[in-house]
């Protein structure tokens, strides 16, 4: 084909997929070969070159631009689809990033003066436009109604403020229509308090009572407040450590002793000498534990009493007062007089709390450490379970089984199982693992705890196994692909050198397939970490008081229910009392989960690319 000079240098794509001549001069010949085309160019399904009926010589002079062949509008349609897809993805990521990253950044507190009198103080959350109903309009002053109807076409902008102080107002978020706002200010001296209970408090410090020493709020230096809060928080921690740590420990031992006694009673009967002996032992032990418990309780009570003497008196923006224990305050800052450095300090301290603390306030505040830990434990267990089985199954299919119709059928089914809905695995996990397997384990090994189930209900082990089953096809497929990618010549070479089949697999095939297998495994872990639906059936709970790993024998408690980041999102976003208050937490958790899943996936893609390169080099 002869191209017009000037466009002859159209770049061609390297791999034989030319971006091609977009516009072309008419060729010389076809006219004579396909005369029908000339007459009915519309009806022809075969695209290509149009041949106007003029003489060849004349045609050479003109450049023709066949729009039908170029299909520009269609190409734009195709490209538009990709563009929409990419915009959607960018928008999604931006939404999560923006909200996830900025949620913990402290916001200023606006003091809003209202037209009908009164003030409120709160963090601005967002605003939106709505259309007030006729009843609402009727209750408004006339001039406002006129303004709304005339100028704003019946629509009203309103702002959402987080006003906190749930214990005083019975609501912690408030919508304020813009027409009723007469002014907003950001006065210094307003503090944002995060509390152990009742959500945040927004207001001023009236006074602080440090064990009888009363300091008015105006005289309180920042350092003084800081040290007082630090001490209060130390006291809180020591109470927690006593109650949850040491007293919990005693309770645990007591429970264990009771169960041991029950086991003897079940095994030997209550009349047997063994039982009497065990009972005597139990009574001695429980008396000792009880006395220790009482001691600890006394100690805790003493700290609590001391703690009760350190209080802070707060006043909200309209002067309503509230006295709190100092140790009730998790964090406080003067929101409107923070320097950038202070803001960053608050920001990072919130992240620190989020990553390392337990949740508070029905999961809407505090941290998600148990959920992170639960997700981690489950994913690790899942990998431990899925790796050997997936690899063995793939080895069997690829290296041992006789390739034939049956194996292809099995392969189809395995591919198929990768597409079976996760909830179906959850149903199976609940029915088979928890109820059938777990029920039998309980009956055999833990009869003393019945009717309370030990393994006979959802738990870490069953959740991991269910997800392992869910992800086994992923590993099988990936491993099979990796095994298939190892050149047959290598196997033959190894066998020819006298190595046994297992030696060949162990020393030749597996090492070369390892990156592929790892890719599959990481993909499986990513899939496992993101699944929530099956977990809802087999062991995830909204709040697990005990971690699956702790200091008591056998240290890893596979029977325990656990928390999970994905479920945390669902639970906090949809099941909590106050979805508005929970939203920041949901965003941050989402951000965390997405980062986790993305980094796992990115790792697998990285591995896959490295694998490809390795074989390009290794394959002669």
Partner 1 sequence: MAQPKDSSLKQTRKWVLIADKIADNSITIGGLLVICTVFGMMVFLVWEVIPLFLGGSVQKQTEYRLNASPGRVLAMKLDEQKTIGVRVTENGVLTAWHAATGTILKAPSFDLQGKKITAVATTRNGHHAAFGFEDGTARFVEITHKTEVNPLNEMPSGLKRLNDRDQTDGTAVYSEIPGRQFRKMWIEVKLYDEIKAFDSGSPIRAMDCRFSQFGERPLQILAAIDQKGQGRLLKVESKLNLFTRELKTEVTAAELPALPENVPVVHALVNEVGNTVYFAQQDGTVYRFNVRDFEHPLLAETTRLTEPGVSLNVFGYLLGEASIVAGGSDGSVNIYFLLRRKDAHSQDGYALVHTRSFESQPAPIVGFAASQRCRSFVTQDESGNLWLRHGTSERTLLKVKESRNESSSGGGKIVLAPRRDGLLALLEDGTTNLWDIDVPHPESSLHTLFGKVWYEGYPSPSYTWQSTGATDAFEPKLSIVPLVFGTLKATFYALLFAVPLAILAAIYTSEFLPASVRGKIKPSIEVMASIPSVVLGFVAALVLAPVVENWVAAVIMAFVCIPLSLMLAAYLWQLLPPPMALRLDGIPKFICMLAIIGVSLWVTYSLGPLFEKYFFHGDFKAWVNQDVGEAAPFWFLLLLPVSAIFVSTAAGRLIGYRVNQYLKRARPFPAALVDLGRWLGIATASIAVSYGAALVFQGLGLDARGSVVGTYVQRNTLIVGFAMGFAVIPLIYTLAEDALNAVPAHLRSASLGCGATPWQTAIWIVLPTAVSGVFSAIMIGMGRAVGETMIVVMSAGNTPLIDMNIFNGLRALSANIAVELPEAPKDDTLYRILFFTGLVLFGMTFVINTIAEMVRLRFRRRSAQL
Burial class (CB in 10 A: 0-12, 13-18, 19+), 287: exposed
Is 590 an interacting residue with respect to partner 1 (CB under 8 A)? yes
Contact in structure between 463 and 429 (CB atoms under 8 Å): yes
Q: How many residues does the chain have?
A: 620
Is 2 an interacting residue with respect to partner 1 (CB under 8 A)? no
Tokens, residue 92: 């999604």
Q: Which is nearer to partner 1, 130 or 348 (CB)?
A: 130
Three-class SS state of 376: helix
β-sheet bridge partners, residue 549 = 556
Phi, psi of 530 (to 5 degrees): -90, -20
Q: Which is nearer to partner 1, 115 or 501 (CB)?
A: 501
Instruction: State in angstroms the smallest separation of the CB of 53 from partner 1.
Output: 9
Q: Residues 202, 561, 585, 586: which binds partner 1 (CB under 8 A)? A: 586
Instruction: State in angstroms the smallest separation of the CB of 608 from partner 1.
Output: 9
Is 202 an interacting residue with respect to partner 1 (CB under 8 A)? no
β-sheet bridge partners, residue 562 = 540
Q: Which is nearer to partner 1, 190 or 523 (CB)?
A: 523
Q: Which is nearer to partner 1, 101 or 210 (CB)?
A: 101
Q: Residues 399, 448, 546, 550: which binds partner 1 (CB under 8 A)? A: 399
Site for partner 1, residues 428 to 467, rule: CB under 8 A? 428, 430-432, 435
Q: Which is nearer to partner 1, 56 or 602 (CB)?
A: 602
Q: Which is nearer to partner 1, 153 or 213 (CB)?
A: 153
Contact in structure between 569 and 490 (CB atoms under 8 Å): no
60/4 Cα distance (integer angstroms) = 10
Q: Which is nearer to partner 1, 186 or 503 (CB)?
A: 503
Q: Residues 242, 264, 378, 397: which binds partner 1 (CB under 8 A)? A: 397
Tokens, residue 390: 């997936």
Region near partner 1 per CB under 8 A, out of 104-112, 351-359, 395-403, 543-551: 395-403
Q: Residues 35, 56, 65, 319: which binds partner 1 (CB under 8 A)? A: 65
Contact in structure between 164 and 122 (CB atoms under 8 Å): yes
354/339 Cα distance (integer angstroms) = 22
Contact in structure between 455 and 461 (CB atoms under 8 Å): yes
Instruction: State in angstroms the smallest separation of the CB of 586 from partner 1.
Output: 6
Contact in structure between 538 and 462 (CB atoms under 8 Å): yes
Q: Residues 5, 8, 33, 42: which binds partner 1 (CB under 8 A)? A: 42
Instruction: State in angstroms the smallest separation of the CB of 64 from partner 1.
Output: 5
Residues ≥6 apart with Cβ < 8 Å to 163:
120, 121, 122, 169, 171, 172, 173, 174, 202
56/584 Cα distance (integer angstroms) = 72
Is 602 an interacting residue with respect to partner 1 (CB under 8 A)? yes
Site for partner 1, residues 264 to 293, rule: CB under 8 A? 270
Tokens, residue 34: 């396909």
Three-class SS state of 564: coil
Instruction: State in angstroms the smallest separation of the CB of 536 from partner 1.
Output: 5
Contact in structure between 336 and 325 (CB atoms under 8 Å): no
What does the longest C-alpha to C-alpha distance in the chain come to?
119
Region near partner 1 per CB under 8 A, out of 113-121, 324-332, 360-368, 385-393: 385-393
Region near partner 1 per CB under 8 A, out of 181-189, 248-256, 359-367, 522-530: 522-530
* Structure-token match 């045609």, residue found: 59
Instruction: State in angstroms the smallest separation of the CB of 26 from partner 1.
Output: 9
Is 593 an interacting residue with respect to partner 1 (CB under 8 A)? yes
Instruction: State in angstroms the smallest separation of the CB of 111 from partner 1.
Output: 27
Q: What angle do CA 578, 584, 589 make, to 5 degrees?
A: 110
Q: Which is nearer to partner 1, 40 or 213 (CB)?
A: 40
Is 376 an interacting residue with respect to partner 1 (CB under 8 A)? no
Instruction: State in angstroms the smallest separation of the CB of 41 from partner 1.
Output: 6
Q: Which is nearer to partner 1, 345 or 490 (CB)?
A: 490
* Structure-token match 């729009």, residue found: 67
475/518 Cα distance (integer angstroms) = 9
Q: Residues 114, 601, 603, 615: which binds partner 1 (CB under 8 A)? A: 601
Region near partner 1 per CB under 8 A, out of 43-51, 174-182, 204-212, 317-325: 43-51
Is 393 an interacting residue with respect to partner 1 (CB under 8 A)? yes
Question: Which residue pairs from 306-311 have beta carbons closer than 8 angstroms and sit at least 24 positions apart in sequence?
Answer: 306/211, 306/235, 307/232, 307/235, 307/236, 307/239, 309/209, 309/211, 309/212, 310/209, 310/210, 310/211, 310/228, 310/231, 310/232, 310/235, 311/208, 311/209
Is 545 an interacting residue with respect to partner 1 (CB under 8 A)? no
Residues ≥6 apart with Cβ < 8 Å to 129:
155, 156, 157, 158
Is 415 an interacting residue with respect to partner 1 (CB under 8 A)? yes
Is 129 an interacting residue with respect to partner 1 (CB under 8 A)? yes
Region near partner 1 per CB under 8 A, out of 50-58, 111-119, 158-166, 222-230: 50-58
Is 390 an interacting residue with respect to partner 1 (CB under 8 A)? yes
* Distances 158 to 128, 130, 137 between C-alpha atoms, Å: 6, 8, 14
Is 368 an interacting residue with respect to partner 1 (CB under 8 A)? no
Q: Residues 284, 380, 401, 484: which binds partner 1 (CB under 8 A)? A: 401
Tokens, residue 611: 């694998």
Q: Residues 145, 196, 210, 427: which binds partner 1 (CB under 8 A)? A: 427
Instruction: State in angstroms the smallest separation of the CB of 164 from partner 1.
Output: 21
Region near partner 1 per CB under 8 A, out of 110-118, 138-146, 494-502, 549-557: 494-502
Q: How is 439-463 classified by DSSP, letter by letter?
A: HHHHHHH-GGGTTS-SSSS--HHHH
Site for partner 1, residues 17 to 36, rule: CB under 8 A? 17-24, 27
Is 57 an interacting residue with respect to partner 1 (CB under 8 A)? no
Site for partner 1, residues 67 to 126, rule: CB under 8 A? 67-89, 92, 95-96
Instruction: State in angstroms the smallest separation of the CB of 505 from partner 1.
Output: 7
Give the gyration radius of the chain's Cα atoms.
35
* Structure-token match 């408030």, residue found: 174
Site size toward partner 1, by CB under 8 A: 137
Is 420 an interacting residue with respect to partner 1 (CB under 8 A)? yes
572/545 Cα distance (integer angstroms) = 17
């Amino acid at each position: 084909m002869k191209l017009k000079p000037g466009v002859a240098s159209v770049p061609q794509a390297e791999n034989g997929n030319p971006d091609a001549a977009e516009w072309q001069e008419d060729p010389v010949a076809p006219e004579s070969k396909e005369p029908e085309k000339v007459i009915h160019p519309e009806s022809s399904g075969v695209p290509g070159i149009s041949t106007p009926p003029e003489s060849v010589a004349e045609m050479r002079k003109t450049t023709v631009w066949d729009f039908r062949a170029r299909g520009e509008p269609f190409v734009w349609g195709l490209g538009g689809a990709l563009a929409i897809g990419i915009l959607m993805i960018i928008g999604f990521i931006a939404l999560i990033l923006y909200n996830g990253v900025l949620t913990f950044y402290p916001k200023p507190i606006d003091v809003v003066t209202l037209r009908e009198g009164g003030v409120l103080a709160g963090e601005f959350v967002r605003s939106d436009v709505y259309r007030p109903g006729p009843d609402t309009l009727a209750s408004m002053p006339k001039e406002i109604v006129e303004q709304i109807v005339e100028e704003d076409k019946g629509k009203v902008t309103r702002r959402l403020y987080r006003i906190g102080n749930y214990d005083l107002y019975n609501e912690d978020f408030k919508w304020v229509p813009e027409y009723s706002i007469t002014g907003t200010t950001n006065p210094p001296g307003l503090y944002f308090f995060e509390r152990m209970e009742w959500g945040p408090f927004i207001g001023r410090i009236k006074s602080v009572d440090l064990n009888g020493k009363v300091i008015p709020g105006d005289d309180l230096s920042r350092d003084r407040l800081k040290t007082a809060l630090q001490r209060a928080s130390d006291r809180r921690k020591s109470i927690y450590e006593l109650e949850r740590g040491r007293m919990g420990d005693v309770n645990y031992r007591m429970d264990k002793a009771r169960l041991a006694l029950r086991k003897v009673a079940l095994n030997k009967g209550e009349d047997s000498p063994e039982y009497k002996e065990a009972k005597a032992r139990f009574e001695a032990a429980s008396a000792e534990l009880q006395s220790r418990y009482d001691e600890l309780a006394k100690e805790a009570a003493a700290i609590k009493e001391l703690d009760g003497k350190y209080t802070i008196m707060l006043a909200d923006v309209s002067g309503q007062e509230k006295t709190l224990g100092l140790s009730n305050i998790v964090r406080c800052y003067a929101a409107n007089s923070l320097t950038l450095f202070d803001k960053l300090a608050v920001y990072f301290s919130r992240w620190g709390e989020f990553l390392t603390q337990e949740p508070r306030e029905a999961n809407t505040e505090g941290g998600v450490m148990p959920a992170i830990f639960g997700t981690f434990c489950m994913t690790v267990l899942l990998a431990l379970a899925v790796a050997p089985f997936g690899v063995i199954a793939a080895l069997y299919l690829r290296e041992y089984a006789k390739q034939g119709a049956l194996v292809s059928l099995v392969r189809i089914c395995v591919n198929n199982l990768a597409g079976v809905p996760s909830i179906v695995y959850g149903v199976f996990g609940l029915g088979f693992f928890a109820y059938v397997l777990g029920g039998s384990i309980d009956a055999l090994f833990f009869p003393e705890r019945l009717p309370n189930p030990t393994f006979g209900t959802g738990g870490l082990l069953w959740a991991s196994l269910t997800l392992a089953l869910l992800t086994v096809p992923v590993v099988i497929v990936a491993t099979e692909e990796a095994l298939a990618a190892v050149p047959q010549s290598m196997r033959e070479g190894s066998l020819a050198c006298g190595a046994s089949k297992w030696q060949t697999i162990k020393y030749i095939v597996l090492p070369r397939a390892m990156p592929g297998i790892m890719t599959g495994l990481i993909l499986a872990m990513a899939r496992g970490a993101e699944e929530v639906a099956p977990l809802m059936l087999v062991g995830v709970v909204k709040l697990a008081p005990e971690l699956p790993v702790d200091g008591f024998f056998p240290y890893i408690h596979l029977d325990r229910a656990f928390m999970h980041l994905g479920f945390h999102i669902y639970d906090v976003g949809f099941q909590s009392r106050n979805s508005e208050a929970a939203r920041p937490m949901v965003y941050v958790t989402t951000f965390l989960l997405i980062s986790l899943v993305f980094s796992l996936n990115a790792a697998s893609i990285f591995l896959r690319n490295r694998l490809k390169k390795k074989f390009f080099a290794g394959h002669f």
